[in-house]
Amino acid sequence: MLLLKNGKILKNGVLVSKDILIDDKKIVKIDKNIQENVEKVLDLEGKFVSPGFIDVHVHWREPGFEYKENIYHASRAAARGGFTTAMPMPNLDPVPDNYENLKIQLDIIERDSVIRAIPYGAITKGELGKDYAEFEELADYVFAFSDDGRGVQDANMMYESMMVAAKLNKAIVAHCEDNSLIRGGCMHCGRRSRELDLPGIPSVCESVQIARDVLLAEAAGCHYHVCHVSTKESVRVVREAKAAGIKVTDFWSFINANQELDSLYEFSKRYTKMTPQQQVIYLGEAEKMFAAFDKIPQTVWEDDHDKYEAVLDTYKDIRVMRWNELHQDQDDEEEDEENEW
């Protein structure tokens, strides 16, 4: 057995100190000051303990593109960051569009990965959008089906793939891009593309395919997940689809950051009237929003730039105010001690 001493876990939104007893790779007890005869004791020295993280979208690039990344190193990097399960995307060589090709990847995972890895299967053969992958023979071994990196251009092919996936209780995970609307672009069409005088890809290139797919998913009864949400039009489509009861999920940080920005912006207008507790909550929520925005193309947020700046300014003001209050309290305590002396 293994005993983890002096760790901190999150309970009802509060960090509390606990010991954790593990037997045969399973947690058997969480309590204060556990006293057990065990083979090994680790003193966590107040470090935070959480369940293993799960990343449902990774690119481990093996087989076929090991010069970019391989399973051996990627899995160890994931473990270092606290991830214990990952789902590698299928844009590989060979593409896992049948069990024979998938088996190559599964064998490497078995040999080299230090964490649990559940691959994606392709939607179409070679991710070329012309012929269907072997869904049935892949289903027991894959997390979901995706042609990540390429949008499925044919609506009927996507619809039939969704119907099969629904029967197999698997999700369709889509990289959404209508190739006919790329229009020779090489980056998002917006302020920056105009500054650089480069051809831009319009937002509708992504959002129009998402709009198509959510209706197909509704008709097929399929769970549909959007890999990359990078336009406000796409956000609107996903929101409306969810409100209509369609089983669609999305890039969490984009949707939630957008909603959180509006909420924090309203709070920023009256931050001087916040209680200390509200200020702490504001700081925490703002930091989560900033982290989400770091992963999203800035051009997406041109219309909301002023809101973002207002939230950032308020964040800085509260940090300065709380720093001054903290140090004033410390100065007062030191002065009291000197007077007592």
Q: Which residue has the tokens 């057995």?
A: 1
329 versus 278: the higher-pLDDT residue is 278
Classify residue 185 by burial, with Cβ atoms within 10 Å: 0-12, 13-18, 19+.
middle
Taking a C-beta distance cutoff of 8 angstroms, is the pair 163, 222 a contact? yes
pLDDT, tens digit, for every residue of 21-66? 999 889 999 999 999 889 999 999 999 998 899 999 999 999 999 9
CA separation for the pair 149, 91 (Å, rounded) = 7
Give the mean model confidence (pLDDT) for residues 242-248: 91
Per-residue confidence (pLDDT) for residue 254, from 0 to 100: 52
Q: Which residue has the tokens 């009237």?
A: 273
| pTM of the shown model | 0.72
pLDDT, tens digit, for every residue of 297-338? 443 445 567 788 888 888 888 888 777 766 665 555 555 555
CA separation for the pair 322, 270 (Å, rounded) = 16
- What ranges in 200-243 are assigned the alpha helix state H? 204-220, 232-243
Q: Is residue 89's pLDDT more than 80?
A: yes
CA separation for the pair 190, 16 (Å, rounded) = 47
What is the number of alpha carbons within 13 Å of residue 205 lying toward its C-beta? 21
The mean of the pLDDT values for the chain is 87
What is the phi/psi pair of residue 299, to 5°? -65, -25
Classify residue 194 by burial, with Cβ atoms within 10 Å: 0-12, 13-18, 19+.
exposed
Q: Which residue has the tokens 């190559």?
A: 104
Taking a C-beta distance cutoff of 8 angstroms, is the pair 145, 165 a contact? yes
pLDDT, tens digit, for every residue of 92-147? 999 999 999 999 999 999 999 999 999 999 999 999 999 999 999 999 999 999 99
Domain 53-255 sits in CATH at: 3.20.20.140
Per-residue confidence (pLDDT) for residue 335, from 0 to 100: 52
User: Which of the four pLDDT bands, split at 50, 70 and 90, describes residue 170?
Assistant: very high
Taking a C-beta distance cutoff of 8 angstroms, is the pair 105, 63 a contact? yes
Q: Is residue 78's pLDDT more than 70?
A: yes
DSSP 196-208: HT-PEEPTHHHHH
288 versus 136: the higher-pLDDT residue is 136
Which of these, 210, 283, 289, lies nearest to 252 by C-alpha position? 289
Q: Report the percent of the chain where pLDDT is more than 70.
A: 88
174 versus 235: the higher-pLDDT residue is 174
